Amino acid sequence: MDTSQFGREKKPGKKGLIIGLCIAGAGIIAAIVGITQSARVSEDVKITGNVDIVEYILTDSPNYKRSGHFPVQGLMLHSVGTPTPSAKEFADIFGDEDYTRAGVHAFIDAKTGEVYQTLPWNRVAWHCGGDGMLTHIGVEMCETDGEYYDDDGVLHITDTGKAKKDARTAYSSAVKLFAILADEYDLDPLEDGVIISHKEGHTRGIATNHGDPEHYWDAVGLGFTMDGFRDDVAEYMKANL
């Protein structure tokens, strides 16, 4: 997809936060283990579509072993909050059997646009630290290596050209992936609460207080917004699915 079409009016944003991932609370973990509402959500779901999806399911990870399935009601977009553009590198870290801190359904590589699917789409992932992980698939966009975060968690761009290119690449794949997932689960991307960011999840009271991915988009300066993202997903669905 030509990402040049994706420019939207930029809205004021807040500073970036170090990482868009979190630990689940004990009560939520208990709920995760027990979710088996119907045959549709009691087995792993696989999908394919017009995006490079590398099936890299982390079956040894605690997140996979402890999580049940859930009825998908929405999709949540994150960015990783660190200058590591490689999706495989993140997937390998999260796949360690001793890595108990967080989980996510997929990482999007910032250089290639490849999607590394790390959990089945309908298996609960500990991606937002609130009830949103019982309703929403969580996808992380990797960020550019043309950036750094200072000790206060503020994002600084060091290579504008690289940062813009990497952000466009991840954004384009995210649009395609979210369109495919919305189609698979019969979701309207423009319906309130269906496609949200981690930041918007916090505003809704279903996620921890993070600013991603808006803080990343604001820093890169391409004018991407969640409203624009939702519109692009809807347009892609209409034209391609």
pLDDT digits (tens, 9 = 90+) for 222-231: 999 999 999 9
Class for the domain spanning 17-240: alpha beta
Q: How confident is the model at residue 51 (pLDDT cuts 50, 70, 90)?
A: confident
Long-range contacts of 43-50 (CB under 8 A, 24+ apart): 43/69, 44/69, 44/120, 44/122, 44/123, 45/120, 45/121, 45/122, 45/184, 46/120, 46/121, 47/121, 47/180, 47/181, 47/184, 49/176, 49/177, 49/179, 49/180, 49/183, 49/241, 50/176, 50/180, 50/240
Rounded distance, CA 37 to CA 41, Å?
7
Domain ranges of the chain: 17-240
Rounded distance, CA 53 to CA 160, Å?
28
pLDDT at 90 over 90: yes
Query: Three-state SS for 226?
Result: helix
pLDDT at 106 over 90: yes
pLDDT at 151 over 50: yes
Query: Three-state SS for 109?
Result: coil
Q: How confident is the model at residue 46 (pLDDT cuts 50, 70, 90)?
A: low
Average pLDDT for residues 164-179, to the nearest whole number?
A: 97
Rounded distance, CA 142 to CA 121, Å?
18
pLDDT at 48 over 60: no
Q: How confident is the model at residue 67 (pLDDT cuts 50, 70, 90)?
A: confident
Q: How confident is the model at residue 149 (pLDDT cuts 50, 70, 90)?
A: very high
pLDDT at 26 over 70: no
The per-residue pLDDT for 163 is 98
- Return the percentage of the chain with pLDDT > 70, whole number: 80
Pair of tokens at residue 102: 């967080």
19 or 103: which leads in pLDDT: 103
The per-residue pLDDT for 110 is 97
Average pLDDT for residues 36-46, to the nearest whole number?
A: 46
Q: How confident is the model at residue 8 (pLDDT cuts 50, 70, 90)?
A: very low
Average pLDDT for residues 196-221, to the nearest whole number?
A: 98
pTM of the predicted model, to two decimals?
A: 0.83
Average pLDDT for residues 13-34, to the nearest whole number?
A: 37
Q: How confident is the model at residue 45 (pLDDT cuts 50, 70, 90)?
A: low
Find out whether 145 and 84 touch, Cβ atoms under 8 Å. yes
